[in-house]
Amino acid sequence: MTSVAVVGAQWGDEGKGKIVDWLSHRADVVVRFQGGHNAGHTLVVGDKTYKLSLLPSGVVQGKLSVIGNGVVVDPWALLDEIGRLAAMGVAISPETLVLADNACLILPFHRDLDAAREASAGQGQQIGTTRRGIGPAYEDKVGRRAIRVADLADPEALAWKIGRLLAHHNALRRGLDLPELDAGQLLADLRGLAPLVLPFAQPAWKRLDEARRLGRRILFEGAQGALLDVDHGTYPYVTSSNTVAGQAAAGAGVGPGAVGYVLGLAKAYTTRVGEGPFPTELNDAVGKRIGEAGREFGTVTGRPRRCGWFDAVLVRQTAAISGVDGLALTKLDVLDGLDQLKACVGYRIGDRAVDHLPAGLREQAAVEPVYEYFDGWTDSTRGVRSTKDLPGNAIKYVRRIEELVGRPVAILSTSPERDDVILMRDPFER
């Protein structure tokens, strides 16, 4: 038996929710290990559509689900999401959901700071955050002044930590012309919240260690994508956490050996939400058609996603950084009916050939894609569950992606529906 980490190999929105949901019936435990409720996963199960932002996708399957210490948690958003799922018939209890007691909290003033900073940056200087307080919460975490879940159980320590936290934030708020925060009110709010949140709080690392010792299969669920990683992404147009597979261990509280197979998710084309470089972006009728066919709107923000051709250079790069063993290629059906497809196989900056995305901001903006062309297909791939039923040109396209990226396609997704999947290699059976 092994464990599997599912990570995005592009800029997020690759369909991790569906793939994790599909894999979770093979798993015993599903773990979120980074990010916050800025990440959105959409699951389509029969006639129901579940939109998750913070909860691990395994909750829909009734599997033990863990929010790890690497996640920053908005407790109000968590309780709201639990309530929304309960209204849809998904019961969530402390027996099925574990919240790491050492996870840090997102508080309302983190959202205020996030929004104020973006607004004050002005046009052309914004980085496109979701304004949900993720970045400021991570800043407090590394600044060693955050409120953690366990602090809710100790009112005396909580009061001391709030005082230390607000000494920092009230100085920031004065500079941004925001009203100062009242420590007593925040303490009262958190004390009122504690009985609702603390029943889920446990040492997540301990539960995961017990699961490993019992030979349980663990599925590590990433959020966003490797190109939004705070170290390896298109900085500064990135998220505030590490999104690569290496974070699965630290963000869940397990050793690196606990993360077995790394499954990298990529769409059969490329999308991006928000600002930042995008070498293969299509600002034409084809890009619009892909966006409409793929329903490319953010689960969390509702913003339309920018669309472009598949970028093999980027996916090859993120596969190396995350140690990807195999790919899950999603939304192949969105490309049905196109006469011609393209895939980026290299870059040029002026007269110079480049085989990776540079780290420098100006060089990233100057990159021009070098394309390889493919014949499209007219037959539908939507809902296909066997490679023998795929059009020949679709198979050629998938095989060429494997060659360009240097990783095999383990899973091929052909629609948003849970079971419309072609399993080529089972990640749990290496």
Give 179-202 pLDDT, tens digit per residue: 999 999 999 999 999 999 999 999
* Spatial CA neighbour of 297 closest among 305, 289, 306: 305
* Spatial CA neighbour of 110 closest among 144, 72, 82: 72
Lowest mean pLDDT among 25-29, 342-346, 354-358: 25-29
* Spatial CA neighbour of 417 closest among 46, 23, 85: 46
Mean predicted confidence (pLDDT) in 361-380: 96
Mean predicted confidence (pLDDT) in 63-88: 95
Residue 121 has a pLDDT of 66
* Spatial CA neighbour of 146 closest among 161, 160, 157, 167: 161
**pLDDT of 300 above 90:** no
Residue 376 has a pLDDT of 97
Mean predicted confidence (pLDDT) in 42-68: 86
Residue 124 has a pLDDT of 65
pLDDT class of 297 with cuts at 50, 70, 90? confident
Catalytic residue list contains 41: yes
Residue 83 has a pLDDT of 95
User: Residue 180 carries which DSSP code?
Assistant: P
Residue 52 has a pLDDT of 87
pLDDT class of 241 with cuts at 50, 70, 90? very high
Residue 125 has a pLDDT of 63
Whole-angstrom Cα distance, residue 162 to residue 170?
11
Catalytic residue list contains 13: yes
Task: Using a cut of 0.85, tell me whether the model's pTM lies above it.
Answer: yes
Tens of pLDDT, residues 9-27: 999 999 988 898 899 889 9
User: Residue 233 carries which DSSP code?
Assistant: S
Residue 140 has a pLDDT of 97
**pLDDT of 261 above 80:** yes
pLDDT class of 123 with cuts at 50, 70, 90? low
Choose, from 21, 37, 41, 420, the residue flagged as catalytic: 41
Cβ atoms 221, 176 nearer than 8 A: no
Residue in the block written with tokens 């629609």? 415
pLDDT class of 337 with cuts at 50, 70, 90? very high
Lowest mean pLDDT among 41-45, 126-130, 357-361, 364-368: 126-130
Mean predicted confidence (pLDDT) in 30-39: 90
Cβ atoms 37, 53 nearer than 8 A: yes
Q: Average pLDDT of the chain?
A: 93
Residue in the block written with tokens 């800043």? 139
